[in-house]
């Protein structure tokens, strides 16, 4: 029902990258260090799974799970080429077996389950394995009582797996239903583009839905809509800003701020302590203990929660906290990883 | 809904034409016999035999695309017909209590045989007027929200749900997007997976993707023989993968969307047989089979304690398609209580900067 063509110029790689929005030529390494956000116009370019993990979690904390799950061509699907062949080629090119990567890691010291979709793998489409990995991520989060963060990017359900793909919508939603009933926290980040069966299932069933600036988010793709209604689509249609104005998402958060915002939401909704402590303190403490990916710049970015600019300059003694969140992790009450 | 008599030849599909033409001849002869009081039995009989032979021949070897076209047949019985034929004491309940009353989905309390049910059904029309009013069976978010509101009502009072699926897909329009089409469908899917009453669904015509699943998460999934259920319309799939909307026929085959295909994949519980030549050739018999199979399943499900009902529905979707070795392996590991051994990342930077990936999806 929905698809979006992936533009070559959006793809990271090469020594220099041209911003698809303002056409500024940027040194690719600099762009990667800047969260794949154009320094000139703030356009959010597509980032790789590895980059996304790096931008979201503490350095080196990600432990990927279920990497071995590999899609199967159950239908013997064949269009111009066979699906089996397409899978092989894509896996080789993208260096991953599927469009979904899941695992655990820490985010400013807090353990979380993270799932990242990869639009470069057959348009991030959801077949059996993507659905399975989403479900497994939900189950791990539930078992270990961890917050779940899913970063979505998808053209929808995968056609090559037919109705099996469609059923993944039910599988993932059913798992999320249980997770919600158990009080689990699920934060979704919808990136460019998130459409079709993914939007119509797990992506929109989060406790808090965050859109990346300018991301295309919708049920049907714009071309399908245009072909159906035969009229021009309004300016900015289906972009994050459009959806925010119509009450469909909770927030728009730019990529450099995302890690801190996720942390902040977790501290509000699944706090590590009874007492509400200033987030700047928590971030400073996390930065000391993890020495990770620049949590300091986040302190500035964490708008709306008393983020103070002093946080990054404050000395450890001044913050006066007695323990670091990394050591606490009190949400892990029942860690029943039941070794076989 | 008033019965109309459309010209059968005009609404006949190309592969039905020889049959319909023969039938016209038979009718003409019978009329003539009546008017002239001549005995034409000997003339009519071979024609009837020929028709039956033709019917059997044509319907024995239908292609998936032909089945799709039967599912969309202009004469095919739709929700309105089943309301007339098998549902009684119908009390329609309108509106989502939020925005409007979407006529593409009808919700009603009704009696089916000796069961009280909440009927939730896609509605299409037969006249241009009706088709406009029901938006060709393409619901907006308010349709899904209306359905959810009535499902919750049924759950509160322990009324089993019957859903009849017949939609090309949820409506792709500006208003639908603005009001959260995707989230409305997702919410229904999630909530249906937890409903504490039996849910029996039947695809009676088109099972168009997320728009179908939005009222289709159930304990028993039935399909009328010549209906289809797909992740994307064959035309949509052809346009994306073949870059040619005309290749719908090939897409219909590749997608495995007929009742037989889905039965073979283990995704549905029952195929409800249709009369030879399709439901539209004998809507009464079709309706009776449909009623009987729905009733049978409701009664079976009612025997289960509610907790088990909900649990088995969960399992049904959790391990859907477990003919898949991979899913079976995960399941077995889980059931042993094992946790996956952390595996090293497949590694490598995936960006190669020159791929031209295309978003491929339905929903």
Model confidence over B235-267: pLDDT tens digits? 999 999 998 878 999 999 999 999 999 999 999
pLDDT at A138: 98
Identify all chain A residues contacting B163, using CB atoms and an 8 Å cutoff. none
Say what percent of chain B tops pLDDT 70. Answer: 90
pLDDT at A273: 85
Q: Which token pair is A195?
A: 């459409």
| Lowest mean per-residue pLDDT among A119-133, B51-65, B133-147, B324-338 | B324-338
B76, B279 in Cβ contact below 8 A?
A: yes
Phi and psi dihedrals of A25, rounded to 5? Answer: -90, 125
Answer yes or no: is B362 within a domain: no
| Residues B42-73 pLDDT 10s | 888 999 999 999 999 999 999 999 999 999 99
What's the CA gap between A139 and A133, in Å, rounded? 10
3-state secondary structure of A88: helix
DSSP run (H or E) holding A135:
helix A128-144
Q: Which token pair is A61?
A: 């904390």
Identify all chain B residues contacting A197, using CB atoms and an 8 Å cutoff. 209-210, 231, 361-363
Task: Specify the DSSP class assigned to residue B5.
Answer: -
Answer yes or no: is B335 within a domain: no
pLDDT band at B330 (very low <50, low <70, confident <90, very high): confident
Q: Which of B56, B79, B136 is nearest to B104 (CA)?
A: B136
Answer yes or no: is B333 within a domain: no
Using the beta-carbon criterion (under 8 Å), do B254 and A75 form an inter-chain contact?
Answer: yes
Task: Give the residues across from B92 on adjacent strands.
Answer: B108
What's the CA gap between B324 and B330, in Å, rounded? 10
B245, B238 in Cβ contact below 8 A?
A: yes
Please give the interface size between A and B, counted as residue pairs whose CB atoms are below 8 Å apart: 337
Cis upstream peptide for A193 (omega within 30°): yes
- The predicted model gives A68-86 an average pLDDT of 92
| Lowest mean per-residue pLDDT among A185-189, A287-291, A319-323, B136-140 | A319-323
Q: Do B23 and B172 share a domain, yes or no?
A: no
Q: Do B163 and B16 share a domain, yes or no?
A: no
What's the CA gap between B224 and B35, in Å, rounded? 40
pLDDT band at B334 (very low <50, low <70, confident <90, very high): confident
- The predicted model gives A13-18 an average pLDDT of 84
pLDDT at A330: 43
pLDDT at B332: 83
Answer yes or no: is B361 within a domain: no
Q: Do B161 and B254 share a domain, yes or no?
A: yes
Domain containing B216 equals 70-318
- The predicted model gives B123-142 an average pLDDT of 96
Which of A11, A248, A338 faces B180 most closely, judged by CB atoms?
A248
How many other C-beta atoms are found inside a 10 Å radius of the C-beta of residue A274? 7
CB of B307 less than 8 A from some CB of A: no
Neighbour-count burial for B90-107, b at 16+ CB within 10 Å, e otherwise: eeeeeebeeebbbbbbbb
Using the beta-carbon criterion (under 8 Å), do B254 and A68 form an inter-chain contact?
Answer: no
CB of A340 less than 8 A from some CB of B: yes
pTM of the predicted model as reported, rounded to 2 decimal places = 0.87
In this predicted structure, the answer to whether residue A186 has a pLDDT above a threshold of 90 is yes
Q: Which token pair is A337?
A: 């990883």
Number of domains in chain B: 2
CB of B318 less than 8 A from some CB of A: yes
Using the beta-carbon criterion (under 8 Å), do B194 and A181 form an inter-chain contact?
Answer: yes
Q: Do B181 and B307 share a domain, yes or no?
A: yes
pLDDT band at B327 (very low <50, low <70, confident <90, very high): confident
In this predicted structure, the answer to whether residue B345 has a pLDDT above a threshold of 90 is no
| Residues B170-204 pLDDT 10s | 999 999 999 999 999 999 999 999 999 999 999 99
Identify all chain A residues contacting B251, using CB atoms and an 8 Å cutoff. 79
State the maximum Cα–Cα separation within chain A, in Å, rounded to a whole number: 65
What's the CA gap between B265 and B321, in Å, rounded? 7
pLDDT at A291: 56
B208, B71 in Cβ contact below 8 A?
A: no
What is the 3-state composition of chain A as percent helix, strand, coil, each rounded to the nearest 5?
Answer: 40, 15, 40
pLDDT at B38: 86
State the maximum Cα–Cα separation within chain B, in Å, rounded to a whole number: 88
What is the 3-state composition of chain B as percent helix, strand, coil, each rounded to the nearest 5?
Answer: 50, 15, 35
Which numeric CATH code is attached to A47-286? 3.90.226.10
Q: Which of A118, A114, A135 is nearest to A179 (CA)?
A: A135
Mean pLDDT of the residues in chain B:
90
CA distance B273 to chain A (A): 21
Q: Do B208 and B300 share a domain, yes or no?
A: yes
What's the CA gap between B222 and B263, in Å, rounded? 10
Q: Do B40 and B175 share a domain, yes or no?
A: no
- The predicted model gives A48-59 an average pLDDT of 97
B252, A75 in Cβ contact below 8 A?
A: no
CB of B362 less than 8 A from some CB of A: yes
3-state secondary structure of B168: coil
Answer yes or no: is B331 within a domain: no
Answer yes or no: is B2 within a domain: no
Q: Which of A272, A326, A274, A283 is nearest to A307 (CA)?
A: A283
CB of B345 less than 8 A from some CB of A: yes
In this predicted structure, the answer to whether residue A55 has a pLDDT above a threshold of 60 is yes
Q: Could you tell me the CATH number of the domain that includes residue B175?
A: 3.90.226.10
Identify all chain B residues contacting A190, using CB atoms and an 8 Å cutoff. none
| Residues A292-331 pLDDT 10s | 444 444 444 444 333 333 333 333 333 334 444 444 444 4
CB of B74 less than 8 A from some CB of A: no
List the single best residue of B151, B357, B358 to mutate versus A (max A Cβ within 10 A): B357
Q: Which token pair is A207?
A: 């406790």
What's the CA gap between A77 and A84, in Å, rounded? 8
Q: Do B166 and B269 share a domain, yes or no?
A: yes
Q: Which CA distances in Å does A112 have to A124, A142, A237? A: 22, 11, 33
In this predicted structure, the answer to whether residue A332 has a pLDDT above a threshold of 90 is no
Q: Do B246 and B276 share a domain, yes or no?
A: yes
In this predicted structure, the answer to whether residue A2 has a pLDDT above a threshold of 60 is no
Q: Do B23 and B76 share a domain, yes or no?
A: no
Window 242-261 of B: residues touching A by CB (8 A cutoff) are 242, 250-251, 254-257
Window 191-250 of A: residues touching B by CB (8 A cutoff) are 193, 195-205, 218-221, 224-225, 228-229, 233-234, 237-238, 246-248
Q: Do B93 and B29 share a domain, yes or no?
A: no
| Residues A246-288 pLDDT 10s | 999 999 999 999 999 999 999 999 998 888 888 888 888 888 8
pLDDT band at B299 (very low <50, low <70, confident <90, very high): very high
A87, A71 in Cβ contact below 8 A?
A: yes
Mean pLDDT of the residues in chain A:
85
Domain boundaries, chain A: 14-45, 47-286
What's the CA gap between A165 and A153, in Å, rounded? 16
Q: Do B51 and B74 share a domain, yes or no?
A: no
Q: Give ∠ CA A52-A251-A308 in degrees, rounded to 5.
A: 80
Query: Around A72, how many Cα atoms within 13 Å sit in the side-chain half-sphere?
Result: 14
| Residues B203-234 pLDDT 10s | 999 999 999 999 999 999 999 999 999 999 99
Task: Specify the DSSP class assigned to residue B281.
Answer: G
Q: Do B22 and B150 share a domain, yes or no?
A: no
A21, A9 in Cβ contact below 8 A?
A: no
pLDDT band at B333 (very low <50, low <70, confident <90, very high): confident
3-state secondary structure of A232: coil
What's the CA gap between B313 and B319, in Å, rounded? 10
């Amino acid at each position: 029902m929905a698809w979006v063509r992936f533009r070559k110029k959006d793809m990271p790689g090469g020594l220099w990258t041209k911003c698809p929005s303002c056409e500024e030529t940027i040194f690719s390494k600099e762009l990667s260090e800047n969260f794949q956000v154009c320094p000139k116009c703030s356009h959010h370019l597509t980032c790789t799974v590895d980059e996304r993990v790096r931008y979201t979690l503490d350095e080196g904390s990600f432990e990927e799970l279920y990497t071995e799950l590999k899609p199967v061509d159950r239908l013997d699907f064949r269009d111009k080429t066979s699906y089996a062949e397409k899978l092989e080629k894509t896996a080789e090119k993208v260096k991953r077996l599927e469009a979904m990567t899941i695992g655990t890691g820490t985010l400013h010291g807090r353990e979380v389950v993270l799932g990242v979709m990869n639009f470069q793998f057959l348009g991030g489409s959801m077949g059996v394995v993507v659905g399975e990995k989403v479900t497994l991520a939900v189950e791990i989060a539930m078992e270990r009582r961890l917050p779940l963060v899913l970063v979505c990017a998808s053209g929808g359900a995968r056609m090559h797996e037919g109705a099996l793909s469609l059923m993944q919508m039910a599988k993932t939603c059913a798992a999320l239903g249980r997770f919600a009933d158990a009080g689990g926290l699920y934060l979704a980040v919808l990136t460019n583009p998130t459409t079709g069966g993914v939007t119509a299932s797990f992506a929109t069933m989060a406790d808090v839905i965050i859109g990346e600036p300018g991301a295309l988010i919708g049920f049907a793709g714009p071309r399908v809509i245009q072909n159906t209604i035969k009229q021009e689509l309004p300016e900015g249609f289906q972009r994050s800003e459009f959806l925010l104005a119509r009450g469909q998402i909770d927030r728009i958060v730019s990529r450099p701020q995302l890690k801190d915002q996720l942390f902040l939401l977790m501290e509000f909704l699944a706090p590590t302590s009874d007492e509400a402590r200033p987030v700047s303190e928590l971030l400073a403490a996390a930065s000391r203990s993890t020495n990770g990916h620049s949590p300091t710049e986040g302190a500035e970015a964490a708008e709306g929660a008393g983020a103070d600019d002093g946080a990054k300059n404050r000395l450890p003694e001044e913050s006066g906290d007695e323990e670091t969140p990394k050591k606490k992790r009190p949400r892990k009450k029942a860690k029943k990883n039941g070794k076989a | 809904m008033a019965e109309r008599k459309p010209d059968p030849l005009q609404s006949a599909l190309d592969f039905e034409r020889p049959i319909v033409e023969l039938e016209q001849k038979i009718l003409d002869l019978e009329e003539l016999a009546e008017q002239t009081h001549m005995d034409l039995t000997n003339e009519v009989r071979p024609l009837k035999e020929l028709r039956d032979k033709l019917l059997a021949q044509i319907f024995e070897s239908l292609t998936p695309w032909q089945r799709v076209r039967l599912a969309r047949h202009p004469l095919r019985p739709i929700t309105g017909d089943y309301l007339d034929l098998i549902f009684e004491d119908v009390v329609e309940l309108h509106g989502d209590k939020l925005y409007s009353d979407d006529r593409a989905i009808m919700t009603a309390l009704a009696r089916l045989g000796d069961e009280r049910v909440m009927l939730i059904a896609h509605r299409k029309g037969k006249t241009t007027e009706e088709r406009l009013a029901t938006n060709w069976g393409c619901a907006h978010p308010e349709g899904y929200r209306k359905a959810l509101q009535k499902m919750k009502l049924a759950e509160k009072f322990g009324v089993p749900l019957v859903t009849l699926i017949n939609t090309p897909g949820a409506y792709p329009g500006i208003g639908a997007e603005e009001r959260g089409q995707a989230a409305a469908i997702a919410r229904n899917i999630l909530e249906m997976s937890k409903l504490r009453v039996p849910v029996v669904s039947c695809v009676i015509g088109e099972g168009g993707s997320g728009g179908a699943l939005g009222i289709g998460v159930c304990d028993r999934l039935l399909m009328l023989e010549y209906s289809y259920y797909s992740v994307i319309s064959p035309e949509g799939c052809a346009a994306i993968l073949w870059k040619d909307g005309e290749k719908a026929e090939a897409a219909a085959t590749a997608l495995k969307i007929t009742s037989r295909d889905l039965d073979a994949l283990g995704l549905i519980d029952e195929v409800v047989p249709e009369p030879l030549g399709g439901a539209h050739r004998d809507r009464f018999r079709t309706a009776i089979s449909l009623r009987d199979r729905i009733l049978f399943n409701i009664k079976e499900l009612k025997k289960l304690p509610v907790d088990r009902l909900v649990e088995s529905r969960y399992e049904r979707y959790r391990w859907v398609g477990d003919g898949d070795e991979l899913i079976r392996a995960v399941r077995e590991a889980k059931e042993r209580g094992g946790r996956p051994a952390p595996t090293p990342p497949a590694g490598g930077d995936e960006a190669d900067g020159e791929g031209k990936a295309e978003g491929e999806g339905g929903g």
